[in-house]
Structure 1
């Protein structure tokens, strides 16, 4: 399997896991604050890493790498952006239905193409622009601008998408010194350090069911982070951008399964346009 193909598969896997994770977070937001959800996820990831640490060949070296990582400023800035994105996304999904929140999040691939071209100097081919155009049209069909969705709450998923796009660009820029686990653990450490100071004001005592859901959410989101970190290390972020649109399909399915929201005709049209965008990108080039 080639590296670009593996990057696409990792991106699709991340899309499914991210959407599932935020659907779980939406359920959790009925009893816990979104900031507390992100904080607890970070604590659980660090706890899991601490339990695994003695099994490593060089536990002391792994601990030093966590506390004093190479290119520390770059890794910590990326980790902080990840925590901002995750917190905003959890808040956005608590305010907006899953399908609509995911659709608004599809501003991220558009931003990724622009950032990939401007910051990383990546080449954005006409094919990618056409694929993104279909994807963006699909997003508009799902959301239907001018409808009841367009309130102040809609700005939250868009802000999450922007910070997530910046996180992916930052992750790619440090790919030579940080792997998937570095990105995941630095994000968890940043979540604990940055969010702990506000916990005395936001803390709500979780019951057993909530703790179980937090554990599931942490596992799903960590797997998604590993997938996306692996993807952006193997391919250009602008090349992966159209594949992020697969999340709308997962969102439609989860909305129906978990929240009994059956997608309408406009949502299905949006999914079709997104699929066309993926086919445009994947269509083989002519030889010569």
Structure 2
């Protein structure tokens, strides 16, 4: 979710120079950005695979708490020594609270849903978030959508229908939770854009981790189950580290290359989900999931590659 947090794939204009005139080291920076995005697409499936493993024994609420608390500890260690408690100062507290709650809802729905469906299927459905962002950016941010991009969104939804196949024996209600997770994550991205020019990025990162942790600290005492072994305790702790590391990779990737260049590589997460899902359950996606995932990727790549040509608000 996972493929999910602070990175904002904002549209960026294409470079006006030919590749031969790029400054020295530019190609290397773009390659590094791509590698970091692929690294994130590996870390998130590993985290989700651990969620599936832990969900066999522990309540989802406890796993969500571990995910948020571990992330908060990483954020505190990295941000507070540099910025102090002033990092909590925000000019849009309501927006920060809303985006943090949306992120928690997205995480919760994904963690509850991934208990019941294969990881590759969940990973494919979760990639609907960019399509939701494309649709929501017009009414909420005033960013108009080109007809061709709207068609790409519809094609993406067709791909999801092929993956979940409602009305058949393959369909599972948990697929709707993953779609709800993608929708909440899209709203989270919209609210993140709204505060981007007002609050520093570190403030947004801090609120995302802090609010989720506080909410789950109020819930987890009612469902707590002590780890049965040291290994299980370590797996709980790894959730936050993997999630925070994945989001860091995405954020760093966006500093090395334009969003529309590296965004297509986020779909490596589907490949990572297939590999991790096979290790966790021994299952590989069926033909319908492969076809649906391919359609989702194709539509998503089209939207990413045309982002720089999208009409601006007006």
Instruction: Give the TM interval when normalised to the shorter protein.
Output: 0.7 to 0.9
Corresponding residue number in structure 2 for 1:41 = 67
Distance (Å, rounded) in 1 between the aligned partners of 2:173 and 2:288: 23
Corresponding residue number in structure 2 for 1:83 = 104
Corresponding residue number in structure 1 for 2:237 = 215
SS of 1:80's equivalent?
helix
C-alpha spacing 1:19/1:99, structure 2 compared with 1 (3 Å): same
SS of 2:162's equivalent?
helix
Deviates more, 1:226-235 or 1:31-40: 226-235
C-alpha spacing 1:138/1:158, structure 2 compared with 1 (3 Å): closer
1:173-188 matches, cutoff 5 A: 173-188=194-209
CA contact (8 A) 2:37 2:249 kept: yes
C-alpha spacing 1:18/1:149, structure 2 compared with 1 (3 Å): farther
2:280 to 258, 265, 284: 258
1:199 to 220, 224, 229: 220
Distance (Å, rounded) in 1 between the aligned partners of 2:210 and 2:194: 20
CA contact (8 A) 2:61 2:216 kept: yes
CA contact (8 A) 2:41 2:246 kept: yes
Corresponding residue number in structure 2 for 1:110 = 131
Q: Deviations over 1:34-84 (max 9, x none)?
A: 22122122222333344446742xxxx521322x33322211221121112
C-alpha spacing 1:53/1:278, structure 2 compared with 1 (3 Å): closer
CA contact (8 A) 1:88 1:160 kept: yes
List gaps (5 residues or longer) in structure 2: 1-10, 15-29, 310-314
> How many matched pairs?
278
Report the aligned-residue RMSD. Answer: 3.6
Aligned-pair CA distance for 1:166: 0.9
Deviates more, 1:40-49 or 1:273-282: 273-282
CA contact (8 A) 1:110 1:241 kept: no
Corresponding residue number in structure 2 for 1:19 = 45
